[in-house]
Amino acid sequence: MFTGIVEELGSVAALEGSRLRLAGREVLTDVELGASIAVNGCCLTVVDWDSAAGWFDVDVTQESFDRTQLGDLRPGDPVNLERPVRLSDRLGGHLVQGHVDAVGVIVKPAPDLKVKVPEGLHRYLVEKGSVTVDGVSLTVVDPAPEGFTVALIPHTMEVTTLGRKGAGDRVNIEVDVMAKYAESLLGGILPGRD
Residue 90 in any domain: the answer is no
Tens-level pLDDT at each residue, the chain (194 residues): 899 999 999 999 999 999 999 999 999 999 999 999 999 999 999 999 999 999 999 999 999 999 999 999 999 999 999 999 988 888 788 889 999 999 999 999 999 999 999 998 999 999 999 999 999 999 999 999 899 999 999 999 999 999 999 999 999 999 998 888 888 888 777 666 54
Tell me the chain's radius of gyration from C-alpha atoms. Answer: 17
* CB neighbour burial string for 13-47, b if at least 16 within 10 angstroms, e if fewer: bebeeeebbbbbeebbeeeeeebebbbbbbbbebe
Domains in the chain: how many in total?
A: 2
Residue 155 in any domain: the answer is yes
Predicted confidence at residue 91, as pLDDT, reads 79
Predicted confidence at residue 69, as pLDDT, reads 96
**Average model confidence (pLDDT) for the chain?**
93
Asked whether residue 120 falls in the same domain as residue 68, the answer is no
Residue 121 in any domain: the answer is yes
Report the half-sphere exposure of 55 (CA within 13 A, side-chain side): 13
Asked whether residue 170 falls in the same domain as residue 135, the answer is yes
Asked whether residue 74 falls in the same domain as residue 13, the answer is yes
Asked whether residue 53 falls in the same domain as residue 128, the answer is no
Residue 192 in any domain: the answer is no
Predicted confidence at residue 187, as pLDDT, reads 78
Asked whether residue 76 falls in the same domain as residue 119, the answer is no
Residue 93 in any domain: the answer is no
Asked whether residue 67 falls in the same domain as residue 131, the answer is no
Asked whether residue 66 falls in the same domain as residue 26, the answer is yes
Residue 87 in any domain: the answer is no
Predicted confidence at residue 178, as pLDDT, reads 85
Which residues contact residue 95 at a Cβ distance below 8 angstroms, ignoring those fewer than 6 apart? 1, 3, 176, 177, 178
Predicted confidence at residue 175, as pLDDT, reads 95
Q: Enter the DSSP assignment of 187.
A: T
At 120, the amino acid letter reads G
Asked whether residue 170 falls in the same domain as residue 123, the answer is yes
Asked whether residue 110 falls in the same domain as residue 174, the answer is yes
Predicted confidence at residue 181, as pLDDT, reads 84
List beta partners, residue 112. Answer: 151
Asked whether residue 106 falls in the same domain as residue 181, the answer is yes
What is residue 193's three-state secondary structure?
coil
Residue 96 in any domain: the answer is no
Host domain of residue 25: 8-82
CB of 56 closer than 8 Å to CB of 37 = yes
Q: Enter the DSSP assignment of 89.
A: S
Here the CATH number for the domain that contains residue 132 is 2.40.30.20
Predicted confidence at residue 193, as pLDDT, reads 52
Residue 97 in any domain: the answer is no
